Amino acid sequence: MSRIYAIILCLGAFVISTDQWTKYLALENLQFEGHSIAFLEGWFSWTLVHNHGAAFGMLRNLPDSVRVGFFLIMPLTVLGILWWSLVRHYKPKQLMAPLAMGLVFGGAIGNLIDRLRFGYVIDFIDWFYPSRDGSCLPLFYYQAGTGCHWPVFNIADSAISIAVVLLAIDSFRNPIDAPKKS
């Protein structure tokens, strides 16, 4: 069991440090919110966004009195639930659960640090693709002149998304055992 904790803590620390370092670079190189620097022409740019909401900016219009408490308590609650469900009920055949927990731990703490420091999360990775007619894939939005954009995100968001995929893969590989009929 100590090996599982070591994996979670090491991977979490890596995600937190990488997330905070890249956010530092974004803040140093992007002078104001909305400032953008292309780094893979037509596909990726660094665009500084102050995300006051949750994933994809959801819930950003909640009153501050509700939003601040919610976004400080929610990551801790999610980590507690994941800790209880993944670590306490861990089975050795669940290969991806410790990796997923480490990614979620690092991602949640990385974004929580931003909320405590700034009151919002620093997002900066802007992924998009060209569109001549303004039609975009689901979840992408059209921005004239540049194409179809995914909501701007950061390393912590990526880690959490990768964790969800790993858990989905793990659940297909190791389905929950059905109760035996007597």
Question: Would you name the residues annotated as active-site residues?
Answer: 123, 157
Instruction: Say if residues 127 and 36 touch (Cβ distance below 8 Å).
Output: no
Proportion of the chain in helix, strand, coil states, percent, rounded to 5: 55, 15, 30
Residues 169 and 135: their CA atoms lie apart, in Å, by 31
Q: What does DSSP assign to residue 153?
A: B
Helix axes 64-82, 97-118, angle to 10 degrees: 160
Instruction: Say if residues 110 and 22 touch (Cβ distance below 8 Å).
Output: no
Residues 4 and 27: their CA atoms lie apart, in Å, by 34
